[in-house]
Chain A
């Protein structure tokens, strides 16, 4: 099943160890302010992704939880990137024919 844009960016961000607010900032910079993740969205996504084994809790510092991507998460992220690349390539190639 394709990932949501939110999950994709969070998983992408967590290739480095980060906590919730870091993730939001990282994604904001990465997308040039286009994607501003909400606190509830980040919290809900992190809980779900941890349960699914895509990310893992690394440490806790002053009440902040730091997460990092797991091997399974990396695999899923790679599959997703390939899927998006294929979509992009195919649609662009089609546009070129017209």
Chain B
């Protein structure tokens, strides 16, 4: 029976280069990626090989089979798809086309898609936190818990601001990382 293992790890979309490295290094150590469910990466014991892993972020893909077929034609093995991220691998020996993006412009197109997604997430989170604050504040006043309510609201606002700042920091770091990738020439 094949030996299996799972590793729990969280990668944000902007960290796709780190994620690729992580998967390659595991394959180098004899663990082949088989599936990803949420934060759980499943691996299967295999020979220690140099294998390149590449992630393509491709939201709103209507015709997945045609999209995947093109990559298969180019010698890529399709592993799995998670949150619009498509995972491909290829033995490292075929050195000529070892990256899915051979020019800067098309890699930038993918980075822009990621930025758009991150921005959408940030806006959604902001709207949700504002709505929650409003509802809570309204309830506090409605039940005339005025003095206690004020303290509660202040602490809630503080908490909300904290969460938002933390999220923005994460968002900004991701953004700067993407900008760095976009500035860096592919070749």
Binding site for B on A (CB under 8 A): 4-6, 19-21, 24, 33, 35-45, 48, 60, 62-65
Q: Which residue of A lies closest to B99 (CB)?
A: A38
Q: Which residue of A lies closest to B56 (CB)?
A: A40
In the bound complex, what is the Cα–Cα distance between A24 and B70 (angstroms)? 11
Interface string of B33-73 (1 = CB under 8 A from A): 00000000000000000000010100000000111011101
Given known pairs A33-B96, A36-B96, the reply for A41 and B103 (CB within 8 Å) is yes
Does B66 lie within 8 Å of A44, measured CB to CB?
no
Residues of B within 8 A of A64 (CB): 66, 69-70, 73
- By size class, the interface of chain B is 20 to 34
Does B106 lie within 8 Å of A45, measured CB to CB?
yes
Q: Which residue of B lies closest to A43 (CB)?
A: B70
Does A40 lie within 8 Å of B97, measured CB to CB?
no
Q: Which residue of A lies closest to B54 (CB)?
A: A40
18 A-B pairs besides A6-B105, A39-B71 with CB distance below 8 A are: A4-B103, A20-B70, A20-B73, A21-B70, A21-B73, A36-B97, A38-B102, A38-B106, A39-B76, A39-B100, A40-B56, A40-B99, A41-B102, A42-B70, A42-B74, A62-B69, A63-B66, A64-B70
Does B100 lie within 8 Å of A60, measured CB to CB?
no
Residues of B within 8 A of A24 (CB): 74, 97
In the bound complex, what is the Cα–Cα distance between A48 and B110 (angstroms)? 12
Does B97 lie within 8 Å of A44, measured CB to CB?
no
- What's the nearest-Cβ distance from chain B to residue A20, in Å? 4
Does A37 lie within 8 Å of B102, measured CB to CB?
yes
Q: Which residue of A lies closest to B88 (CB)?
A: A39
In the bound complex, what is the Cα–Cα distance between A6 and B105 (angstroms)? 9
Residues of B within 8 A of A37 (CB): 97, 102-103
In the bound complex, what is the Cα–Cα distance between A60 and B67 (angstroms)? 12
CB < 8 Å neighbour of B74 from A5, A39, A45: A39
Among residues 87 to 102 in chain B, which have CB atoms less than 8 Å away from a CB atom of chain A? 88, 96-97, 99-102
- What's the nearest-Cβ distance from chain B to residue A67, in Å? 12
Residues of A within 8 A of B110 (CB): 40, 44
- Count chain A CB atoms within 10 A of each CB in B67, B71, B101, B106 and give the residue with the most: B106
- What's the nearest-Cβ distance from chain B to residue A39, in Å? 4
